[in-house]
Chains A and B, each alone.
Chain A
Amino acid sequence: MSTPLAPALAGKRVLICVGSGGVGKTTAAAALALRASADGRSSLVCTIDPAKRLANSLGLTALGNAETRVPATALEPLGIQPRAPLYAMMLDMKQTWDELIARVASPEQRERILSNRFYQSLSTALAGSQEYISMEKLWELRRSSNYELIVLDTPPTAHALDFLDAPNRVLDFLDNDAAKFLLTPALKAGKLGMSLFNRGGYVMRGLAKFTGTEMLQELSNFLLAISSLNEGFRERARGVRQLLEDPNTGFVLVTSPHPERMDEAIHFHKMLKQHRMEVVSLVVNRVHPMPTPSLWEDAATLTPSRRAKVEETLREQQVMAEQDHAGIAQLQAACPGVPIVQVPRFAMDVHDISALWRTGRYLVGDESHG
Chain B
Amino acid sequence: MAGLLDKRLWIVSGKGGVGKSTVAAALALRSARAGKRTLVCEVNTQERVSRFLERPEAGPEIRLLEENLWAVNVRPQEAMREYGLMVLRFETLYKTVFENRLSRQFLRFIPSLQELVLLGKIMFHLQEKLPDGRWRFDTIVMDAPATGHAISFLSVPQVLIQTVPPGPMAREAQKMRDLLVDPSVTAAVLVALPEEMPVNEALELHAALRDKVSLRTHAAVLNQSFPERFTGADLEALQGHPELLAVAQAHHDRATQAVLAGTKLERNLHAPVYPVPRLFTPEFGRKAIEQVMEHLEPLVTGAK
Contact = CB atoms under 8 A, between A and B. Distances in A.
Interface of A: 20-23, 51-53, 117-118, 120-122, 125-127, 156, 158, 173, 176, 178-179, 182, 200, 202-203, 206-207, 209-212, 214-216, 219, 223, 256, 258-261, 263-264, 291, 294-295, 298-299, 302-303, 306, 309-310, 312-317, 319-320, 322-323, 347-349, 351
B227 to A, nearest CB: 11
Given A121-B111, A212-B168, A320 B247 contact: no
A315 B107 CA distance: 54
A298 B243 contact: yes
B280 A319 contact: yes
B282 A178 contact: no
Contacts of B278: 316
A346 to B, nearest CB: 9
A210 B109 contact: no
27 contacts: A20-B16, A23-B17, A53-B196, A117-B111, A121-B112, A122-B109, A125-B111, A125-B112, A179-B102, A179-B105, A206-B97, A206-B103, A207-B97, A207-B107, A210-B168, A210-B169, A211-B110, A211-B167, A212-B164, A291-B247, A299-B244, A302-B238, A309-B234, A313-B251, A319-B281, A348-B253, A349-B196
Contacts of A206: 88, 93, 96-98, 103
B38 to A, nearest CB: 23
Interface stretch (B56-64, B124-132, B144-152, B211-219): B144-152
The 10 closest A-B pairs by CB, nearest first: A212-B167, A206-B97, A121-B111, A21-B16, A22-B17, A214-B165, A319-B280, A22-B16, A178-B102, A316-B280
Contacts of B244: 295, 298-299, 302, 310
B190 to A, nearest CB: 15
B165 A347 contact: no
A209 B169 contact: no
Contacts of A120: 111
B66 interface: no
B134 interface: no
A212 B170 contact: yes
Contacts of B101: 178
Contacts of A294: 243
B100 A211 contact: no
B260 interface: no
Contacts of B186: none
B253 A173 contact: no
B109 A126 contact: yes
A317 to B, nearest CB: 7
Interface string B246-276: 1111110100000000000000000000000
A367 B100 CA distance: 56
Contacts of A303: 237
A209 B17 contact: no
Given A127-B114, A294-B243, A158 B168 contact: no
Contacts of B167: 211-212, 214-215
Nearest to A200: B102
A315 B280 contact: yes
B77 interface: no
Interface in B32-71: 44-46, 48
Report which residue of B48, B101, B197, B282 has the largest number of chain A beta carbons within 10 angstroms of its beta carbon: B197
Report which residue of A258, A259, A299, A313 has the largest number of chain B beta carbons within 10 angstroms of its beta carbon: A313
Contacts of A51: 196-197, 200
B15 interface: yes
